[in-house]
Structures are given as C-alpha cells and as structure tokens.
C-alpha cells in the first residue's frame, strides 16, 4: 500500500486524469446544458431539443453561418495551395533556420496585432485609394495570412518521409516538372494536404478577433456568437456551442487520421 502511494507513476497518471477532466468538463457541461428544457444552467428541467429547433429557424444565425462557410472554404483553398507550394519549397530548396522560424510568425503573432495591422492597411490602401468596402474578401485575405503557416507545417510533416528518388525517376523518364508534381508528388502528399485543409477550415470557421476587425459590416458566425454572449446570453448559445465543438472535433480527428504524424 505504502509502495503504491509512493509510486510517482500513479500520481502522474492521476494528474493527467485531472488535466483531461479540466480540458473536457467545461465542454461537456455546455453539451449537457444544450439539452436542458429550461435553458438555464441553474436547474435541470428535462431533456429537450427545443434550443436546437430555435437555432435552425434563426435567420440571423443561419445567415452568419453561411457567410462563415464561404469565407472558410475560399480562404482554405487559397491557403492550402500556397502553403503546399511553400512547404515543398522550404523542404527542397532552402536550408535556412531563420526562414524556418519566420514561417511561424504569422501563426503565432497575437490575433489583435494582425487584426489592427490589416484594418489599418485595408483602410489606407483599399478603402482610401480604391474605394472598396470591407467584407467577405477582407476576412478571406486575413485568414489566408495565418492559415498558410498551419498548412505549411502540416504538409512538411508529410514531406519529411517522402522518397525523393521516385520524383527523380519520373524526371529521368522524361516527364516535365509539372507532370511529375501532378502525377507523382501530389498523390503521395495528398493525405497531408487534405489534413492541412481540414485544420485550416476549422481555424477559419472558429476565428473571431481578426474577423471582428476586418469584416466591416459583415457578420460572420463567430461575430454573431460573440454578440449573443456579450449582450445577453440566450440558451441557444449552448446548442450552437455544441454544434461547433462537434463539427471541429470531427474535422480535426479526420485530419489526424489522414496524417498521423502531425500531432
């Protein structure tokens, strides 16, 4: 008994259990509350799906969700294409520690700094000189900035195990570089590219701060959720939160399955 109590492995195991509880309990609470008939966190009055029913007929929420899906889809396409090329370039053409470090900057720069920098820049160049109004495009451009970092990092994990001799064989046999990329390189790294796209899509769907500053009068899904939380919490939030959490989990787990090395 004494030996068991002193075994550090047991204590560490219990600690990890508590850490996982800390990480998942708050999410679990929201999921349970989303099915509470009364909609209040204070008393359980029975199981009900009424808050989900009121979400699916709420035009504001649906409209914001549609806008966010468009932003996420377009920014994911652009970031995945650019990020994949960048990963290839960094892995094959350069060996520069500074550049490898710089690639992470757009991913870890505080969102508020990226947000105000882009707002200032858009205002000066696009609104000031070109007379364009902020909207979908300005959020898409902003999301591409940080998503290139994540796509590049994930695709690189895939490239590290790439056997370059199959590319050389293709080139030796007379295929040009574009054909070699299309027929050899891309199929091999495709799981990594799709995994990266799934993560980029999730990040864009959930992104609030940068969109809040750069969306102009457009209301994205996270902006809608923020205003619901900030100015009077309604029980619908729990249902929305549950959907967001479940969708994010599914996308990220799918991504991890496709490219297990990326954790």
Partner 1 sequence: MSRLARRLVLLGPGLGWWLVFLALPLMVVLAYSFFRRGTYGGVVFDFTLDNYVRALDPLYLGVLGFSLRIAVITTAVALLIGYPAAYFIATRPRRWRTPLLVLIILPFWTSFLIRTYAWMVLLNREGLINRPLLALGIIDEPLPLLYNEFAIVIGLVYGYLPLMILPLYAAIERLNPELREAATNLGARPIKVFFTVTVPLTLTGIAAGCIFVFVPSLGNFIVPDLLGGGRSIMVGNLIQSQFLKARDWPFGATLALALITLMMVLLVVQARIINRDRPVSADAG
Residues of span 32-91 touching partner 1 by CB under 8 A: 33, 41-42, 81-83, 85-86, 88-90
- Give the bridge partners for 47, in sequence order: 36
Hunting for tokens 């590319």 — which residue is that?
167
From 229, 232, 236, 239, residue interacting with partner 1 (rule: CB under 8 A): 229
- Taking CB under 8 A as the criterion, which residues in 107-126 touch partner 1? 108-114, 116-121, 124
The region of 45-53, 58-66, 67-75, 200-208 touching partner 1 under the rule CB under 8 A is: 200-208
Does the footprint of partner 1 cover residue 159 (CB under 8 A)? no
Does the footprint of partner 1 cover residue 231 (CB under 8 A)? no
Alpha-carbon dihedral 238, 247, 219, 128, rounded to 10 degrees: 140
CA dist 70 → 46, 84, 172 (Å): 37, 21, 42
Does the footprint of partner 1 cover residue 13 (CB under 8 A)? yes
- Taking CB under 8 A as the criterion, which residues in 169-198 touch partner 1? 177
The region of 48-56, 64-72, 154-162, 218-226 touching partner 1 under the rule CB under 8 A is: 218-226
The region of 8-16, 65-73, 161-169, 185-193 touching partner 1 under the rule CB under 8 A is: 8-16
Does the footprint of partner 1 cover residue 248 (CB under 8 A)? yes
From 219, 244, 258, 259, residue interacting with partner 1 (rule: CB under 8 A): 244
- Tokens coding 96: 């520069």
216: left (phi over 0), alpha (psi -120 to 50) or beta: left
Which residues 6+ apart lie within 8 Å of 184 measured at CB? 166, 167, 170, 175
Helix (H) or strand (E) holding 25: helix 8-34
E-assigned strand segments in 132-227: none
Nearer to partner 1, 7 or 53 (CB): 7
């Amino acid at each position: 008994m004494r030996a068991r109590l002193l075994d550090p492995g047991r204590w560490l195991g219990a600690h990890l259990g508590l850490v996982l509880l800390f990480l998942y309990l708050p999410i679990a609470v929201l999921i349970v509350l989303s099915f509470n008939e009364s909609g209040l966190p204070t008393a359980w009055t029975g199981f009900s799906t009424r808050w989900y029913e009121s979400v699916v007929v709420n035009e504001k929420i649906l409209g914001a969700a549609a806008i966010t899906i468009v932003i996420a889809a377009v920014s994911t396409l652009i970031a995945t294409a650019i990020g994949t090329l960048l990963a290839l370039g960094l892995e094959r053409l350069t060996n520069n520690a500074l550049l490898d470090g710089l690639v992470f900057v757009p991913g870890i720069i505080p969102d508020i700094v990226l947000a105000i920098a882009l707002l200032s820049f858009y205002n000066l160049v696009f609104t000031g000189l070109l007379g364009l109004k902020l909207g979908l495009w300005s959020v898409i451009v902003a999301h591409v900035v940080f998503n290139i970092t994540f796509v590049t990092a994930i695709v690189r994990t895939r490239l590290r195990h790439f056997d370059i001799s199959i590319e050389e064989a293709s080139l030796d046999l007379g295929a040009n570089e574009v054909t070699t990329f299309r027929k050899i390189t891309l199929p091999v790294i495709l799981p990594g590219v799709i995994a990266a796209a799934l993560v980029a899509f999730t990040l864009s769907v959930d992104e609030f701060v940068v969109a809040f500053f750069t969306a102009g009068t457009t209301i994205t899904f996270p902006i809608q959720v923020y205003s619901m939380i900030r100015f009077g919490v309604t029980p619908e939030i729990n249902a929305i939160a549950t959907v967001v959490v479940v969708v994010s989990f599914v996308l990220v787990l799918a991504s991890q399955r496709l490219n297990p090395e990326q954790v």
